[in-house]
Amino acid sequence: MPVHQRILLKLSGEALMGDDAFGINRATIDRIVAEVAEVVQLGVQVAVVIGGGNIFRGVAGGAAGMERATADYMGMLATVMNALALGDAMNRQGLKARVMSAINIDQVVEPYVRPKALQYLEEGKVVVFAAGTGNPFFTTDTAAALRGAEIGAEIVLKATKVDGVYSADPKKDPHAVRYQSISFDEAMARQLQVMDATAFALCRDQELPVRVFSIFKPGALRRVVQGEDEGTLVHV
């Protein structure tokens, strides 16, 4: 039986790129959906917060010098594009997915309403949260912490390209050690880049644990929800 019954999966936009410079790699998104489907079949309720860096990267040059709030709203729209692509891929693979946006684009996607999101989760649907928190100056990490707390998730799973939190950059330091678990306070004291400070503080204050793992390791998501030693657990 899964250890976690309701999870919030935080996916970066870059996770959808595969080996492409930007945009969405179809084979990559289908593989990620297959990983999600595996845990849904175990009876786990899954919500997803997705970033938009892969889309925004394609227009980053034109955004140089832009007002921060405007650039952040563009980033939110990029997350909506990713969420729609992810939801479509899930539905094509037999999952029932619902995309909900923190900014109103009624003709494209339904607005985020907490009771409705909870209803979808209880019905076994995967809920994909788009547009971050709906406000500029907040990252999708913060959106993951916020939505995770709102829906009563047992854990936030931050899916990255690295299989956990290390004492140093493993690409630069061959002696870097992966932490099996670490407290929020210790991670902050050691200035480990787990999430942005706002998201980190929210998770700590809400006693919402975070597990950092690699979405590119086959079966890693399933192993995480079953409580196996995968990635790094950050806890109170």
Cβ 74 vs Cβ 110: under 8 Å: no
CA angle 220, 222, 226 (to 5 degrees): 115
Burial 173-190 (b: 16+ CB within 10 A, else e): eeeeeebeebebeebbee
DSSP secondary structure letters along 134-191 = SSTT--HHHHHHHHHHHTT-SEEEEEESSSS-BSS-TTT-TT--B-SEEEHHHHHHTT
What is the distance in angstroms between the CA of the first residue and the CA of the last residue of the chain? 25
**Beta partners for 10?**
49, 158
Beta strands 232-235 and 210-214, pairing class: antiparallel
Instruction: Name the binding residues for UMP.
Output: 52, 72, 133-140
Tokens coding 216:
């590119």
Instruction: Name the binding residues for ATP.
Output: 10-13, 53, 57, 160, 166, 169
Instruction: Name the binding residues.
Output: 10-13, 52-53, 57, 72, 133-140, 160, 166, 169
Amino acid at 57: R
